Chain A
Amino acid sequence: MAVTAYSLVRMHNLFAVVMLSGIYSLLAAVIYVVMDAVDVAFTEAAVGAGISTVLMLGTLALTTSMEKDAKMFSPLPLVIVTVTGALLIYATLDMPPYGDPTAPIHHHVAPHYIEKSAHEVGPPNIVTSILASYRGYDTLGETTVIFTAAAGVMALIGRSRRRKKKSDKSMPVEDS
């Protein structure tokens, strides 16, 4: 996965970049399965690797598929990234180790969900019961965000296409 990300940094052909980002998403989905998050893996494979790639390919078709050659290498971004990364690594020293059942994240509401969701909500899949019932408002907010984004995309692209059509129609009239 890190190798894929590194080649993403290096690539100039945008088509290859988009394909690599799809591969990156699929690898992420595999990692989610390994970490027991099957629902998340489904979503990532379908939405992250599928729909995102299609959207990006559509954009490439509408714009250009080659990146301009980088003219110079500036060290400033690299320095910023290294410093931030070092700080984050330092912060991880305080984190609980991987897979530790005594970590604080497992002792707030999660045991309640695991024990009671079968009686209180019903479905055997705990993720489903939390998504639809305990955290229903989150899901409602998510739907609002998607609606807003869809409306934004419509406003941005739909209008320009209509205007282009109008100008196409008006062109020959001016010529004749």
Chain B
Amino acid sequence: MDAFSGLFNYWIVVVLMMMGFYIVISQQNLIKKIVGLNVFQVSVFVFYISMGKIKGGSAPILADGIEIYSNPLPHVLILTAIVVGVATTALGLALTVRIKNAYGTIEEDEIEAMENTPSNKTPEATS
């Protein structure tokens, strides 16, 4: 059991990641899909940060009397990733707004049904 307790953080990450993945592939609503992508993203962030942690270490800010610092490199990478993630979220939400304007719905199956019936073509959808 002791050998496995050190891997517990990775298992949490896997569970969260799979929940995000499940939301993305099973839900029809576009906003909910974007939320699922966020869940997935955050799980990857937690993965990186948990790899950078050293037992007994402290935050990577130089100070007297501190010998062990946690690894600062993953922190930097994740700082960049958070901001980029928000940028992609914003872009996805903007696309959702446009889809709502063009199709009148944000449910994926309804949009597909609309596309597959040629007589029911919406004029804005082609713009």
Instruction: List A residues at the B interface (Cβ < 8 Å).
Output: 1-2, 5-6, 8-9, 14, 17-18, 21, 24-25, 28, 31-32, 35-40, 43-44, 47-48, 51-52, 55-56, 58-60, 62-64, 67-68, 70, 74, 77-78, 80-82, 84-85, 88-89, 92-93, 95-101, 103, 105-106, 109-110, 113-114, 117-118, 124-127, 130-131, 135, 138-139, 142, 145-146, 148-150, 152-153, 156-157, 160
User: Of B25, B53, B83, which is within 8 A of A77 by CB?
Assistant: B25
B22 touches A77 (CB 8 A): yes
A1 touches B7 (CB 8 A): no
How many angstroms from the CA of A125 to the CA of B11 in the assembled complex? 31
CB-defined A-B contacts under 8 Å, sample of 7: A2-B19, A28-B42, A48-B82, A67-B29, A77-B22, A106-B71, A130-B73
The binding surface of chain B is classed by DSSP as: helix
Of all chain B residues, the one with the shortest Cβ separation from A110 is B71
B7 touches A97 (CB 8 A): yes
